[in-house]
Amino acid sequence: MSIKLSPSILAADYGALRESIKTVEDAGTDYLHIDVMDGGFVPNITVGPPVISCLRGDSGLVFDCHLMINDPDRHIDAFAGAGADIITVHAEAAPHLQRTLSYIRSLGKRAGVALNPATDIGCLKYVLDDLDMILIMTVNPGFGGQKFIPAMVGKVRDTKAMIGDRPIDIQVDGGVTLDNLKAITDAGANVIVAGSAVFRAGDPALAVRRFKGLV
């Protein structure tokens, strides 16, 4: 199975985002993970559509937008218009999930659902044909640099079994390092978010190549 790497700009220098993104793009990353926080669903506030559209013109990466926001339906059009390629909403924040996912797809975008560590994967059983990616949070959302929750390896395995042969990506996000990468991919994850382990590494380009198994 081929692995996609999605470095999270949450751990990058927000004053030098263009340069940071170019570094990981030149090093061969696949996606760019953009953490959107609203100060409501999670305590922090980060960036929104205007920043995404500024960055869009300079990058050919798949923009993987993780919306940690309440009532995401209000903002789907804005994120799609800003250049998001994947729009991931939290199941805990989107009560009309099937409608939200269908709407994202109707805009020609890939639809993702994120689940907090305590949320059962069973909530996705009846929307599996409406989504392109399941994001298993391996920390509680809101902050970078937290410790990976080991019980989430089993959750990834259970998710893989649940999706069967559907073409659904399994993404993991939070506390992922080169040390726990193998356990996570063996369990079935194929899209790997890494914030601190890439942008806080001494050499982010080398970290990308290591995650990709190139060195």
* Contact set with ligand DX5 (CB under 6 A): 8, 10-11, 33, 35, 66, 139, 141-146, 173-176, 193-197
Q: In terms of CB distance, is 20 or 108 closer to ligand DX5?
A: 20
d(CA 15, CA 107): 31
Contact 32, 5 (CB under 8 A): no
Residue 176 binding partner per list ligand DX5, Zn ion, none, with a CB distance cut-off of 5 to 8 Å that depends on partner kind: ligand DX5
Q: In terms of CB distance, is 30 or 173 closer to ligand DX5?
A: 173
**DSSP secondary structure letters along the chain:** -PPEEEEBGGGS-GGGHHHHHHHHHHTT--EEEEEEEBSSSSS-B---HHHHHHHHTT--SEEEEEEE-SSGGGGHHHHHHHT-SEEEEEGGG-TTHHHHHHHHHHTT-EEEEEE-TTS-GGGGGGGGGG-SEEEEESS-TT-SSPPP-TTHHHHHHHHHHHHTTS--EEEEESS--TTTHHHHHHHT--EEEESHHHHTSSSHHHHHHHHTT--
Handedness of CA 153, 159, 165, 169 (dihedral sign): negative
Q: Supply angle C-alpha 20, 81, 17, rounded to 5.
A: 10
CB of 37 to ligand DX5, least distance (A): 7
Q: In terms of CB distance, is 145 or 213 closer to ligand DX5?
A: 145
- Which residue has the closest beta carbon to Zn ion? 66
Q: In terms of CB distance, is 38 or 173 closer to Zn ion?
A: 173
CB of 129 to ligand DX5, least distance (A): 26
CB of 8 to Zn ion, least distance (A): 6
Q: Please indicate whether residue 64 is annotated as part of the active site.
A: no
Q: Please indicate whether residue 169 is annotated as part of the active site.
A: no
CB of 137 to ligand DX5, least distance (A): 7
Active-site hit among 30, 64, 132, 173: 173
Q: In terms of CB distance, is 129 or 151 closer to ligand DX5?
A: 151
- Which residue has the closest beta carbon to ligand DX5? 195
Q: Which residues are near Zn ion by CB under 5 A? A: 35, 66, 173
CB of 201 to ligand DX5, least distance (A): 11
Active-site hit among 30, 35, 38, 64: 35
- Kindly list the catalytic residues: 35, 173
